[in-house]
Amino acid sequence: MSSLQSLDIAARSATTTPTPQAREHVVEVAKLIDVSSCIGCKACQVACMEWNDLRDEVGHNAGTYDNPRDLTPQSWTVMRYSEVVMPSNEGERLEWLIRKDGCMHCADPGCLKACPAPGAIVKYENGIVDFISEHCIGCGYCVKGCPFDVPRISKKDDKAYKCSLCADRVSVGLEPACVKTCPTGAIRFGSKEDMHEFAAERVVDLKERGYANAGVYDPQGVGGTHVMYVLQHADKPQIYNNLPADPTISPMVSLWKGVTKPLAVAAMIGAALAGFFHYMKVGPIEDEDDDGPGERRATEEETR
Amino acid sequence: MKRTIVRYQDSTRINHWFVALLFVFAGLSGLALFHPSMFFFSNLFGGGSWTRILHPYFGLLMVFGFVFLFLQVWRENIWTRNDTEWIRNSEKLLRGDEEHMPPVGKYNAGQKAVVWVFAVSLLVLLITGFMFWRPWFDGVFPIVLQRVAVLLHALAAFALVLSVIIHVYAAIWVKGSVRAMTRGTVTEGWARRHHPLWYKEMRGEK
Amino acid sequence: MGGNAAEAHPCGFKWVIEAKQHRRAKLVVVDPRFTRSAAMSDYYAPIRPGSDIAFLGGVINYLIANDKIQHEYVKNYTNAPFIVGDNFSFEDGIFSGYDETKRKYDNKQWGYALDDKGFAKVDPTLQDPRCVYQLMKAHYSRYTPEMVSKVTGTPKEKFLKVCEHIASTSTPTSTMTIMYALGWTQHTIGSQIIRTGAMVQLLLGNIGVAGGGMNALRGHSNIQGLTDLGLLSNSLPGYLSLPTEAEQDLETYYKPRALKPLRPNQMSYWQNYPKFFVSLQKAWWGKAATAENNWAFDYLPKIDKVYDVLQAFELMNQGKINGYICQGFNPVGSFPNKKKIISGLSKLKYLVVIDPLNTETAEFWKNYGEFNDVKSEDIQTAVFSLPSTCFAEEDGALTNSGRWLQWHWKGAEPPGEAKADPEIIADIFHRMKKAYAKDGGAFPDPIVNLTWPYKIPHSPSVEELAMEYNGKALADVMAPPDPKDPKAPPKVLAKAGEQLAGFGLLRDDGSTSSGCWIYTGAWTQAGNQMARRDNSDPWGIGQTLNWAWAWPANRRILYNAASSKPDGTPWDPTRKLVQWNGIAWSGSDVPDINPAANPGDTDRVQPFIMTAEGVARLYAPTGMAEGPFPEHYEPLESPLVNNPFHPGNAKARMNPAARVFKDDLAAAGTPKDFPYAATSYRLTEHFHYWTKNVLTSAIIQPEQFVEIGEELAKAKGISNGDRVKISSSRTTIQCVAVVTKRIQQLDVDGKKVDIVGLPNHWGFVGVAKPGYLVNSLTPFVGDANTQTPEYKAFTVNIEKA
Amino acid sequence: MEMNRRQFFKVTGAGLSTSTLVALGFSPAPALAETRSFKLAKATETRNTCPYCSVGCGIIMYSVGDKAKNVKSEIFHIEGDPDHPVNRGTLCPKGAGLLDFVHSPNRLKYPQVREAGSKEWKRISWDEAMTRIAKLMKEDRDANFVAKNADGKTVNRWTTTGMLCASASSNETGYITHKVMRSMGMLVFDNQARV
């Protein structure tokens, strides 16, 4: 019985039976991050911290603007800064590409596929992938499953944490905190369809300004994502601080969590049953002293 | 009173049952994480988190115990040509016909195979287990390596459980075997019938 | 240029992105560093810190040379046709009227040539060699693209590309706005840099039009409000100014302030100065201000010299100041040359700090090891720290960059025993008043007679204070006799006791009172206009006249009559602002001109109503301390040994009228010891020295660092993340080095110049990592007009730590 | 397949035990998938302006309690004001972090004094602090007030005590501060507009 009638669950970790899906006519939401309008001000990081009552520790400056240095259980989104020199119609041009890193909310989430704990990871009907910490057992399988290396396990409580796309705000009809606060409107929120339309407009504008390969990043390798990027150089996503070019769930994970496991369980149960029926059919090899066949032959020899 | 022969010393038996018990714990807690259908086993260990915490320790202890057991029995389990012959005829044995089986020493080929599968799979389980043992080895291994480790761990676990099932069934199937491990002695008939070479050897000494 | 809106004003920068997305606007950024604004730019060009006038002078030269000027705008709305007097001259970097010993100019020699009726002569054809246009053309002919590239270090083709972008807005239908901030103000030639920018905008016809203008991105949330209310050493509320010693009576006091128009029929609004001044005196001293005592003129202190902050700390160091009160201000962090600031404070008898947060100033006497190495026992200053409320714990109005007075409401109680500022000030006032009433003392009159009409004397309510600065009628305010019907009984515009609706109702006969004339209209009889929250934008160009209230008279764009051609029709029909419809001026904003002033008249009322000329000033005969035309001068501490425009004249290396004291001039760093050009600036994650007390800001930008280019790093063997030592002629500090492609090495005047960037958000108090106050490095020198210290261009040396 | 009685019991026994296992509550726990409850549900909203830069963004402050007398209103969340025509609900990293300014550990809570030469603060009452300050100011003014300058002109100025005013305080605070300090003849008097 999910206590969340308004946002039905499309998929649940480690659950072999389908979740309640009668209400599937739900708008799929999406967050669009337009890297070409992002000024890297980190307002989204602060809004996320403040809304979710998270406070990372005050780290060090290691020679870049990236603070905190990486996603952590207390930092669900961080800005990644890369200074690249790209060819442009006026020769070389320095560009400062700043990408908001965080959960991509995949349509086919690797974390959910890898998670062994029932109900620890759920994907709602509107596309949000959320961690239900109360069921999380802290095994770290989600870290193996995620193609974008996003989930982080907290040392304090052994629970996995990541951006929840403000499922609590979205469930009462508000937009996520980072979307609302973004000063330049680089982060937009709405139905995935609308976001694709807006992204297309942005790509047209970017192409006019000399970015021939501008495009939308919505990788189909994971069935499309509910967090999409507009990139000035969509042909080379890796220059955005190694955003994977074609992210898919690792074959190891799909093998590991795919069809092999049920077969293995079946094989084990099968072996036990086979033993049982074999016992029924062939019957045990008795251990009587004298009338066993092998036994008879041996005794005849010595007693002679 | 049937005459019996001593098959296993007390220390070996205690060691065996120590490993067997830990196998049950490690196995059940492992199976809880293996497939959702068996996740309810985690309730035996106090819930999912405790299962995840205890499982590595059970595994470690089991391997630790197994090492001693292995040191005691590995000499008798060296594979000989005779064992290949046994394997070729094992199909008949399964149908209950023991006559055509070649004479066997202390361990027949089936038992040897089981021991070696135990050893290999426990080794793989140990190595791969460390690679994603949270939280102690959290950041030590790259994620790509951990993905391989997780897969191998599952495969090795599967092999181990399967061979344990076979091992247990064999013991039940061949009447009189269980007492070898429970009381350490077997009946002379059992020895003569199943392990003639070992029987001769024991009589030789006696 | 001169500002980094993406980092310092991100939510304001949203509208640059909107313009790019909806109007396909182009963003051009010229900055010593490739900032986060530059990351959004369509075109970026590097520039050496302190060489902005050279760049902009080059732009003026380019516009004139390539005839990219909006001629009709320049001819009608600027003083280009005005004829300059004969004794104005300019040789080798120095204007006429310079007194070298006092380092001051006497601007009487820069006046216009006046005709017999006292009006300035004009030559509409702009051919007269002494007309402003020709003089300007000659003055900036020296700023050739080659010279500009030599001085600024900006590669020539990049400079020309920027000029191309700027020139494209010279047509009436396309416009440009300049968004500048401290990047332009914090130089010894700061005010003149801004004037050069304004001149560029005037040549392009971009002032007074929608989407145009000179947008000063001001710093603090209410810096505009406090400047409007005159909290400056030489000011009174409403941009009135304190009398100087020489002005002993009202007559001489009014004369230089109530400017008579220099062209016939111009509004020259300052001629109403007496109405504003008398209303202020009545607001402050009520009945004690009467016609007999010149409306309590002598209650006001008279100025002998400018007591700006640099002067204050100079006097402190000379032991001439005993007490200092820092209300929400952290001079130890924000003023240049920290050593001099600390030594000044140490000579005080008492220091009072009123602040919601603990600051470096409050603890200047405490030893914080390498970050503040002082001996407490030698500092004999008694320091009082009084906790005050923060924005969330008080009602009131703040005035933003757009001159909007916005009311805000209190959401929580202050922590502990903290009190609101009005309460603290009231407390000081009452104790002083009681002491003077009881034991007398020096000139008690202005204190004991100060009006204090507040219902709760020890805690004046913000509503009462707002109503007071809006102003009210003390007696019935009569309309001036109607010329058409002189006999008609005069109409009563406002009854006694009523709040006044606008400064048009202020009188100089003592019948009205107003604490700040430009704020009249903020709290009228109809109530608190500042609390209005209707954000409708009927014209679709972002004009929300019913949101809050803007001074003056809720006008949102100043000089908006210039958005129409001389005949009153709009320059750009697609973006109308204010135009003449035959009967009156009207449009999407409150007209900044007499609504009935028909543009068709021969001497029409010109849009720039505050200037005596009625038109904008390309040539400034008064008002600027260092010359009517901006001229490039090097910063006090420059990597160059001389001013490339005037290599031979040592007097013209630095701004001849800059605010600098003798010992600081002598102690300035030389290019030999400190070869690298340095600039200090803000990051978007922090607000000066304030947010290092804020955990979220500390998390996203935890530790002090310096930014250097890859060439300098290679030369000094510094790799990314190393600790480095940065030294200027005043001290040495240490921090982490960020080696980046975003700072390029420039070649200037045949020399390679590296730039060192110093963000200034760290100190020894706060939750962020402790750091050095960057202003320990900066020189103690200020702008000639505003005395703003030169934080943006000085020289340092850098070593691996 | 002959299954004798004893074996039969063995099989049914195993089946019985597992089912009791389930009955003992070892069945998989009913999975609750609950998002975090919406924390602003019954908070009190107050409109305010961000105190940092001069864009003057509108903000909404959410505080605990519904202004009931026994509740000391505590702000627990600050967000942008979507109605404000300039920022339309957006906030920069500083504005979004205003909550940590209101609750900064460095907020001053009571008056303190540092005596001349001492190494640390000493807490004092408001009354004692203000009495001493007023006394110091009056003494300094009476001692150094200049009514007439060298050549006899009335100047009525007091330049030996100066003040720096907060550019982040409201117009009302600025107005009353200016009115009081100027009435004392203070000339060394500035605000952040100077830097």
pLDDT in tens, D12-58: 555 555 555 444 444 445 445 677 889 998 899 999 999 999 999 99
Neighbors of chain D by Cβ distance (3+ pairs < 8 Å): A, B, C
- Taking Cα atoms as reference points, which of C568, C600, C566, C596 lies closest to residue C584? C596
Work out the end-to-end distance of chain C between its first and last CA atoms, rounded to an integer number of angstroms: 33
Bridge partner list, C678: C756, C794
* Cα-based distances in Å from C474 to C496, C507, C553: 5, 10, 21
- Residues of chain B contacting residue A11, judged by C-beta atoms under 8 Å apart: none
A112 touches chain D (CB under 8 A): no
pLDDT of residue A289: 56
- Tally of domains within chain B: 1
**In angstroms, rounded to a whole number, what is the distance separating the alpha carbons of residues A184 and A276?**
69
Neighbors of chain B by Cβ distance (3+ pairs < 8 Å): A, D
Q: Are A116 and B36 in contact (CB under 8 A)?
A: yes
- The CATH number for A9-28+43-176+217-228+237-246, chosen from 3.30.70.20, 3.40.50.620, 3.40.50.410, 1.10.540.10, is 3.30.70.20
Better-predicted residue by pLDDT, C248 or D14:
C248
Please check the confidence at residue C372 and state whether its pLDDT lies above 80: yes
Residue among A45, A63, A186 minimizing CB distance to C720: A63
- SS3 state of residue D90: coil
Mean pLDDT of D112-131: 95
C19 touches chain D (CB under 8 A): no
pLDDT of residue C291: 92
Question: Which residues of B are annotated as catalytic?
Answer: 167
Neighbors of chain C by Cβ distance (3+ pairs < 8 Å): A, D
Residue among C37, C696, C736 minimizing CB distance to A63: C736
- Residues of chain D contacting residue A185, judged by C-beta atoms under 8 Å apart: 90
Residue C471 lies in domain? 223-300+462-530
**In angstroms, rounded to a whole number, what is the distance separating the alpha carbons of residues A76 and A99?**
14
Please name the residue of chain D whose CA is at the shortest distance from the CA of residue B46.
D26
A171 touches chain D (CB under 8 A): yes
Instruction: Tell me the pLDDT tens digit for each residue of A198-229.
Output: 999 999 999 998 899 999 999 999 999 999 99
**In angstroms, rounded to a whole number, what is the distance separating the alpha carbons of residues A138 and A116?**
10
- Residues of chain A contacting residue B190, judged by C-beta atoms under 8 Å apart: 287
Q: Hey, how many other C-beta atoms are within 10 angstroms of the C-beta on C258? A: 17
Instruction: Tell me the pLDDT tens digit for each residue of B8-48.
Output: 999 999 999 999 999 999 999 999 999 998 999 999 999 99
- In sequence order, the 6+-apart residues with CB closer than 8 A to the CB of C363 are C372, C764, C765
Mean pLDDT of C724-731: 94
Instruction: Tell me the pLDDT tens digit for each residue of C623-648.
Output: 899 999 999 999 999 999 999 999 99
**In angstroms, rounded to a whole number, what is the distance separating the alpha carbons of residues B206 and B189?**
16
Q: How confident is the model at residue A139 (pLDDT cuts 50, 70, 90)?
A: very high
* Beta carbons of D141 and C442 less than 8 Å apart: yes
pLDDT of residue C10: 93
- Least-confidence region, from C472-481, C521-530, D170-179: C472-481
**In angstroms, rounded to a whole number, what is the distance separating the alpha carbons of residues C635 and C642?**
10
* Cα-based distances in Å from C792 to A80, C39, C187, C631: 28, 21, 6, 18
Mean pLDDT of C7-20: 92
**B187: phi then psi, degrees, rounded to nearest 5:** -75, 150
pLDDT of residue D6: 57
User: What Rg, from alpha-carbon coordinates, does chain D have?
Assistant: 35
**Shared-domain flag, residues C32 and C178:** yes
**D124: phi then psi, degrees, rounded to nearest 5:** -135, 170
* Beta carbons of C34 and A202 less than 8 Å apart: no
* Beta carbons of D178 and C415 less than 8 Å apart: no
pLDDT of residue C485: 80
Q: Hey, how many other C-beta atoms are within 10 angstroms of the C-beta on A75? A: 25
**In angstroms, rounded to a whole number, what is the distance separating the alpha carbons of residues A219 and C754?**
43
A12 touches chain D (CB under 8 A): yes
Distance from CA of B48 to the nearest CA of A (A): 5
- In sequence order, the 6+-apart residues with CB closer than 8 A to the CB of C711 are C745, C752, C754
**Shared-domain flag, residues C262 and C364:** no
Q: Is C401 exposed, middle or buried (0-12, 13-18, 19+ CB in 10 A)?
A: buried
**In angstroms, rounded to a whole number, what is the distance separating the alpha carbons of residues C728 and C761?**
18
pLDDT of residue C259: 86
Is residue C629 included in any domain, yes or no? Answer: no
pLDDT of residue A300: 44
- Taking Cα atoms as reference points, which of C640, C655, C649 lies closest to residue C749? C640
Counting one residue from chain B and one from chain D, the pairs whose CB atoms sit within 8 A come to 8
pLDDT of residue C605: 87
Q: Is A277 exposed, middle or buried (0-12, 13-18, 19+ CB in 10 A)?
A: exposed
Bridge partner list, D62: D45, D77
Residues 101-160 of B with CB under 8 A from D: none
pLDDT-above-90 percentage for chain A: 69
**In angstroms, rounded to a whole number, what is the distance separating the alpha carbons of residues C527 and B102?**
111
- Tally of domains within chain C: 5
Q: Are C467 and C523 in contact (CB under 8 A)?
A: yes
Structural element, H or E, at residue A100: strand A91-102
Mean pLDDT of C349-368: 95
pLDDT of residue D8: 58
Q: Which pairs with CB-CB distance under 8 Å and at least 24 residues apart come from C596-601?
A: C597/C267, C599/C564, C599/C566, C599/C567, C599/C568, C600/C567, C600/C568, C601/C265
Maximum C-alpha span of chain C: 89
pLDDT of residue C529: 95
- Residues of chain B contacting residue A262, judged by C-beta atoms under 8 Å apart: 35
**In angstroms, rounded to a whole number, what is the distance separating the alpha carbons of residues B156 and B168?**
18
**In angstroms, rounded to a whole number, what is the distance separating the alpha carbons of residues B170 and A279?**
10
Do the chains B and A touch each other, judged by at least 3 C-beta pairs below 8 angstroms? yes
C422 touches chain D (CB under 8 A): yes
Residue whose tokens read 């290599």: C647
Please name the residue of chain D whose CA is at the shortest distance from the CA of residue B45.
D26
* Beta carbons of A83 and C741 less than 8 Å apart: yes
**Shared-domain flag, residues C92 and C124:** yes
Q: Where are the domains of chain D?
A: 44-102, 108-143, 145-195
Q: Hey, how many other C-beta atoms are within 10 angstroms of the C-beta on A109? A: 27
Distance from CA of C537 to the nearest CA of A (A): 20
Residues 74-103 of D with CB under 8 A from C: 74-75, 78, 83-88, 90-102
Q: Hey, how many other C-beta atoms are within 10 angstroms of the C-beta on C184? A: 26
How many Å separate Cα A229 from the centre of its chain?
A: 16
Q: How confident is the model at residue C118 (pLDDT cuts 50, 70, 90)?
A: confident
Please name the residue of chain B whose CA is at the shortest distance from the CA of residue D27.
B40
pLDDT of residue D17: 52
A156 touches chain D (CB under 8 A): no
pLDDT-above-70 percentage for chain A: 92
Instruction: Tell me the pLDDT tens digit for each residue of C160-198.
Output: 999 999 999 999 889 999 999 999 999 999 999 999 999
pLDDT of residue B97: 77
- Residues of chain A contacting residue B110, judged by C-beta atoms under 8 Å apart: none
Residue among B52, B147, B174 minimizing CB distance to A139: B52
C740 touches chain D (CB under 8 A): no
Residue B107 lies in domain? 4-205
For residue D121, give both structure tokens: 């603060």
Do the chains C and B touch each other, judged by at least 3 C-beta pairs below 8 angstroms? no
Interface test with A, best of C29, C43, C696, C701 (most A CBs within 10 A): C696
Mean pLDDT of C450-473: 95
Q: Are A109 and A129 in contact (CB under 8 A)?
A: yes
Mean pLDDT of D103-132: 95
DSSP C728-797: -SS-EEEEEEEEETTS--EEETTEEE-EEEEE----SSSSS-----GGGTS-SEE-TTT--B--SSEEEE
Mean pLDDT of C237-242: 95
**Shared-domain flag, residues C368 and C283:** no
Bridge partner list, A30: A190
- Residues of chain B contacting residue A73, judged by C-beta atoms under 8 Å apart: none
- In sequence order, the 6+-apart residues with CB closer than 8 A to the CB of B90 are B101, B109, B110
Mean pLDDT of B163-187: 90
Please check the confidence at residue C468 and state whether its pLDDT lies above 60: yes
Q: Are B151 and A264 in contact (CB under 8 A)?
A: no
Q: What is the CATH number of the domain that holds C781?
A: 2.40.40.20
Please name the residue of chain C whose CA is at the shortest distance from the CA of residue D115.
C382
* ipTM summary value: 0.91
Q: Hey, how many other C-beta atoms are within 10 angstroms of the C-beta on C364? A: 28
Q: How confident is the model at residue C611 (pLDDT cuts 50, 70, 90)?
A: confident
* Cα-based distances in Å from B140 to B132, B134, B143, B144, B149: 9, 10, 9, 12, 13
DSSP A223-271: T-BSEEEEETTTT-GGGTTS--SS----HHHHHHHTTHHHHHHHHHHHH
- The topology under which CATH files domain D44-102 is N-terminal domain of TfIIb (2.20.25)
* Beta carbons of C36 and A39 less than 8 Å apart: yes
Q: Is B50 exposed, middle or buried (0-12, 13-18, 19+ CB in 10 A)?
A: middle
How many Å separate Cα C653 from the centre of its chain?
A: 25
Q: What is the mean pLDDT of chain C?
A: 92
C739 touches chain A (CB under 8 A): yes
Q: How confident is the model at residue C401 (pLDDT cuts 50, 70, 90)?
A: confident
**Shared-domain flag, residues C783 and C654:** yes
**Shared-domain flag, residues C655 and C783:** yes
Please check the confidence at residue B1 and state whether its pLDDT lies above 80: no
Is residue C100 included in any domain, yes or no? Answer: yes
For residue A271, give both structure tokens: 């072996």
User: What Rg, from alpha-carbon coordinates, does chain B have?
Assistant: 19
B50 touches chain D (CB under 8 A): no
Which span out of A196-200, B171-175, C113-117, C619-623 was modeled with the highest average pLDDT?
A196-200
- Residues of chain D contacting residue B39, judged by C-beta atoms under 8 Å apart: 28
Please check the confidence at residue D3 and state whether its pLDDT lies above 70: no
Interface test with D, best of C191, C220, C686 (most D CBs within 10 A): C220
- Taking Cα atoms as reference points, which of C522, C330, C763 lies closest to residue D168? C330
Q: Are C677 and C50 in contact (CB under 8 A)?
A: yes
Neighbors of chain A by Cβ distance (3+ pairs < 8 Å): B, C, D
Residue whose tokens read 């004369």: C255
* Beta carbons of A183 and C14 less than 8 Å apart: yes
Q: Strands across the sheet with C323-327, in order?
A: D122-123, D112-114, C382-387, C350-355, C323-327, D161-165, D189-191
Burial of C535-573, coded b for 16+ CB within 10 Å and e otherwise, reads: beeebeeebbbbbbbbbbbbbbbbbbbbbbbeebebbbe
- Taking Cα atoms as reference points, which of D186, D172, D171 lies closest to residue C324? D186
Please check the confidence at residue A184 and state whether its pLDDT lies above 60: yes
Q: Enumerate the CATH 3.30.70.20 domain ranges in chain A, comma separated.
A: 9-28+43-176+217-228+237-246
* Beta carbons of D26 and B39 less than 8 Å apart: no
Interface test with D, best of A180, A187, A278 (most D CBs within 10 A): A180
Please check the confidence at residue D59 and state whether its pLDDT lies above 90: yes
* Beta carbons of B189 and A256 less than 8 Å apart: no
Mean pLDDT of C215-243: 93
- Within chain B, residue ranges assigned H as helices are 10-34, 48-73, 81-94, 109-131, 143-173, 178-182, 188-194, 196-205
* Beta carbons of D91 and A169 less than 8 Å apart: no
- Residues of chain B contacting residue A253, judged by C-beta atoms under 8 Å apart: 147, 150
Is residue C706 included in any domain, yes or no? Answer: yes
Q: How confident is the model at residue B95 (pLDDT cuts 50, 70, 90)?
A: confident
* Beta carbons of A287 and B187 less than 8 Å apart: yes
- In sequence order, the 6+-apart residues with CB closer than 8 A to the CB of C685 are A41, A42, A67, C691, C697, C700, C701, C761, D93, D94
